Structure 1
Amino acid sequence: MKNFVSILMLLLSMTLFSQTAKIEPPFWYAEMHNPELQLMVYGENMSQYEVRFSNTIEITDIVKTENPNYIFVTITTENVSPGTYELQFLKDNKIIFTESYELRARRENSALRKGFDSSDLIYLIMPDRFANGNPDNDNTDDTVEKANREEPSGRHGGDIQGIIDHLDYLEELGVTALWSTPLLEDNEPIFSYHTYAQSDYYKIDPRFGTNADYQRLASEMHQRDMKLIMDYVTNHWGSKHWMIQDLPTKDWIHYWEDGEEGFQRSSHKMTTQFDSNASEADKEACMNGWFDTTMPDINQKNPLVLKYMIQNAIWWVEFADLDGFRVDTYSYNDKEGIAKWTKAIMDEYPNFNIAGEVWMHSQAQMAYWQKDSKIGAIDNYNSHLPTVMDFTLHDAIVVMFAEDDQEWDKGMLRAYENFANDFLYPDINNILVLAGNHDTNRINEIYGADLNTYKMVMTLIATVRGIPQVYYGDELGMLGNKDVNGDGDIRQDFPGGWKGDPINAFTAEGRTAEQTDFFEFSKNLFNWRKSKSVIHTGKTMQFVPQNNVYVYFRYTDDSTVMVVINNNAETQTLDLKRFQEVIKAHKTGTDIISEAQISLENTLRIDAKTTMIIEF
């Protein structure tokens, strides 16, 4: 009997000491700008324990919430060297179990990393639809939705290995930065390929690969002098996130008492964020409403939430060696909370870049969200956000090239008027310009796969101020209409990304003649842009369009580029005297599209629906 009791006590002791707590961040880095670190510690009835580090690390605060499964432990890492430290869990002054916690050394000059900027050309992909490099991870035991290429809204199997396998293609195209829609785990039972309803913020979705694969992607890109941008979601989490299933605090999310399971859809009226006449009810209806039933709205007013999200973002920068963030639905967040989130990251990495999705249709309203905005200063607001997206230019692009007659406010006048409002932005070079993305109809669908129109669109995107972003497959003439066929139609698989595809557009010999025409134009334009600082940071002078012909110049003290876009259905002849204040003494230039020598002395003839980029 005595031996039985001894064995029982031993087994009980082993059970207690083998108890495992989930700690996030799972590890951290020494010598960070901000030495304060909040550890989220999770486990059954975790709040029953007191916690301490065995040596060196000082605990400055402990928060126990209404959920007994959580403890939030704040420590300082100031003057703490890289190494592994012991976190002790005690009850009645006795150590019940311990957990190891690691502080890692940072990469050399990590804090000074340079983010993406106007010298880059960003290529946007949806990884599930780009290329399947590892069919073995198409389905996994711990994720619900399985691969089915026959389902337009299902998972198709694209992954990180598929991206790595085709970096040479992106390099040939002239891409310098890659923005992938989110790669973190999304364990929703349907539409999980979209990956904006994330279920684990510290884990790459296993159907895309592993955390180590993501590190390897960044490394492979950096070897090619390319940058990696992470699509980050602050506004909402996925309904299957393990913390949503067991909330640390009820106010971790915006919970609507009158809604079913706390749900009320956002009104999407983002103008209430700065409308001085807005009601509080309308503000809450937008900012606290859920984006969708599977996307609980996160409450950045809760300091525990905000700290968790700040640290998670910084962890990914350090871990994966990132070059930037694109933040989804930026203007739906609590605006004070998202400003603190943004500032914390930019304080840690002063040369980093973050682009916020501010999908609005007024330059003044978009400019409000850019760092140091004079418009935001009216109500003492500063988002600290370096880059916003030029959605008003996108609004113009999707209609103006079908308008042969500019009349009073159509055709190329739409572009001119858009740039006439550049004075509203505090940093005009940090504007992301686009003709389409994963949420819009394909630009080639809109214009009937017309190569000449595509050339006009891409000429504009690649030569105006700001940071150009192109959507995967547009360089091949890919089509897609979500209004008719659903979102899956604008997110079709890249031809050649799957074994057995009848066309492999990743290779010159695999492309159709039409795909080749689109690709070769894009390749020549994007690679030309790479080395042109006059396009990256030069000034702009534009001239009011006449006869639907738009002429603008990018210039510096020692370089000038003249861009001519003839959106008229007929050939036009321009009197070059009108542009003499920029042409000055220059007699000739080279059209980088046709490679022809162009006389700049008298007149310039340009064919219908064509463009010229004349380098002096």
Structure 2
Amino acid sequence: IGDQHWWMKDLPFKDWVHDQSVYGNTSYRGTVASDPYASKHDTDRLVKGWFVNEMPDLDQRNEQLADYLIQNTLWWIEYSGIDGIRMDTYVYPYKEYMARWAKEVLEAYPDFNIVGESWVETVAHESYWQEDKAGENDGYDSKLPSVTDFQIHFAVRDAFNQGFGWDSGLMKIYYALSQDRLYSDPMKNVIFLDNHDISRIYSTLGEKPENLKMAYAFLLTTRGIPQVYYGTELAFKAGPGSWGDGAKRAEMPGGWQGDARSVFTKAGRTAEENAMHEYVTKLTNWRKTSDAVKNGKLLHYVPENNVYVYFRYTDRERVMVIMNMNDNEVTISREKHIEMLRGFTFGMGVISGKNFDVTKDFNVPGKTTTVITLK
């Protein structure tokens, strides 16, 4: 709630909200919630501190409040007909209560989905918040089907802003995905390049169209549920720092009366915007047709020489993806990838439309994520 909510003028119970004069504002250290050595001081500050001065922190230990929040959620689901919730700042409340909330919501609506925002620093911390696998017990079962996979965002950011090395650059993507055993179901993770709280990915990647295209192709072909922030399809840049959060949440030109142009039409977009829009449109529409990318398994190879190769596949379809971070074209070895290329003779480039002869070594262009459907 906000500090102007009518509750604040006449709280239903004295313990309806945490006392800001005692706990202050939160530390924003979400890792504390899963830390086996966390102090009471750190835990109280995370869980009981207000997010900001304008946002009083509700105390779910009050049984009437706890019941009300669940009932309120169920009412809104029934009233609106929505099929999922992205629950903001999921790691900040009492985690035992959040498990109860998720459990009761999903019992009432078994086909519903809940994505918890778990903005933490490592895969181990992230995976803690996804529901446990059957037979596994890490001391906490969140009952939460899906999490916001910040680790993929961090990995993409570093892949384009660090030099390639043993544990840097493109290797960050490999290392993040190679820890997927820690999740109960990584295919349910919501993956993203940026969002309303993070600087625009186009600016993060140096405002280079080729980098954004490479990152977008990775987002749409790796495992997980891709989330695309509005404006990415137009290569939106970050606004000036003086805008605060507004720098990440600019208006769409043409969406408001009196706007000088409209990005909702080709004529209203710049040449750079149209090029990105066309790329995003083509790749996104293709993804709708690919069961391998949406539901298939993932197999990848350790990146070498600043090139990362992976496959998405089912019994009926196989897609090869090659992220070449080098400026120049590189040769892809058939022998190295024979376990996935055996039985296939050629592939079609999804974006380029080019045919690739995969019965022998073949070349792919530099600064490109090449997506190939194998035949």
Q: Secondary structure at the match of 2:273?
A: helix
Alpha-carbon shift at residue 576 of structure 1 (Å):
1.7
- For 2:99, which of 329, 339, 350 is the aligned residue? 339
Q: 1:448 to 1:276 in 2, by over 3 A?
A: closer
| Matched residue type, 1:442 | R
Alpha-carbon shift at residue 566 of structure 1 (Å):
0.5
Q: Secondary structure at the match of 1:250?
A: coil
Alignment of 1:139-218 (within 5 A): none
Between the aligned partners of 2:190 and 2:179, the Cα distance in structure 1 is 15
| Matched residue type, 1:278 | A
Between the aligned partners of 1:450 and 1:274, the Cα distance in structure 2 is 38
- For 1:558, which of 303, 316, 336 is the aligned residue? 316
Corresponding position of 1:595: 353
Count how many residue pairs are aligned between Structure 1 and Structure 2.
374
- For 1:391, which of 150, 174, 185 is the aligned residue? 150
- Structure 1: which 5+ residue stretches go unaligned? 1-236
- For 1:470, which of 219, 228, 243 is the aligned residue? 228
Corresponding position of 2:195: 437
Corresponding position of 1:247: 11
- Structure 2: which 5+ residue stretches go unaligned? none
- For 1:354, which of 114, 117, 121 is the aligned residue? 114
Between the aligned partners of 1:276 and 1:447, the Cα distance in structure 2 is 36
Q: Secondary structure at the match of 1:528?
A: helix
Q: Secondary structure at the match of 2:251?
A: coil
Alignment of 1:135-534 (within 5 A): 237-256=1-20, 259=21, 264-373=24-133, 377-379=137-139, 381-403=140-162, 405-481=163-239, 483=241, 485-534=243-292
Q: Deviations over 1:426-471 (max 9, x none)?
A: 0111101000000101011122331111111101110111100111
Between the aligned partners of 1:576 and 1:460, the Cα distance in structure 2 is 21
Alpha-carbon shift at residue 421 of structure 1 (Å):
0.4
Between the aligned partners of 1:557 and 1:416, the Cα distance in structure 2 is 24
Say if 1:435 and 1:470, in contact at 8 Å, map to a contact too: yes
**Structure possessing the higher relative contact order (Cα contacts under 8 Å, 6 or more residues apart):** 1
Say if 1:263 and 1:293, in contact at 8 Å, map to a contact too: no
Report the structure, 1 or 2, having the larger strand content.
1
| Matched residue type, 2:57 | D
Q: Compute the RMSD of aligned alpha carbons.
A: 1.6
**Which structure's CA Rg is the greater one?**
1
Say if 1:482 and 1:490, in contact at 8 Å, map to a contact too: no
Alpha-carbon shift at residue 248 of structure 1 (Å):
0.3
Say if 2:31 and 2:121, in contact at 8 Å, map to a contact too: no
Say if 2:349 and 2:356, in contact at 8 Å, map to a contact too: yes
Between the aligned partners of 2:185 and 2:307, the Cα distance in structure 1 is 28
Q: 1:455 to 1:272 in 2, by over 3 A?
A: same
Alpha-carbon shift at residue 252 of structure 1 (Å):
0.7
| Matched residue type, 1:496 | G
1:548 aligns with 2:324: no
Say if 1:445 and 1:481, in contact at 8 Å, map to a contact too: no
What's the TM-score once normalised by structure 2's chain length? 0.96
Alpha-carbon shift at residue 569 of structure 1 (Å):
2.2
What's the TM-score once normalised by structure 1's chain length? 0.59
Say if 1:434 and 1:468, in contact at 8 Å, map to a contact too: yes
Alpha-carbon shift at residue 294 of structure 1 (Å):
0.5
| Matched residue type, 2:150 | F
Q: Deviations over 1:401-440 (max 9, x none)?
A: 133x412112211111111001110011110100000010
Between the aligned partners of 1:441 and 1:376, the Cα distance in structure 2 is 37
Identity %: 39
Alpha-carbon shift at residue 271 of structure 1 (Å):
2.3
Q: Secondary structure at the match of 2:335?
A: helix
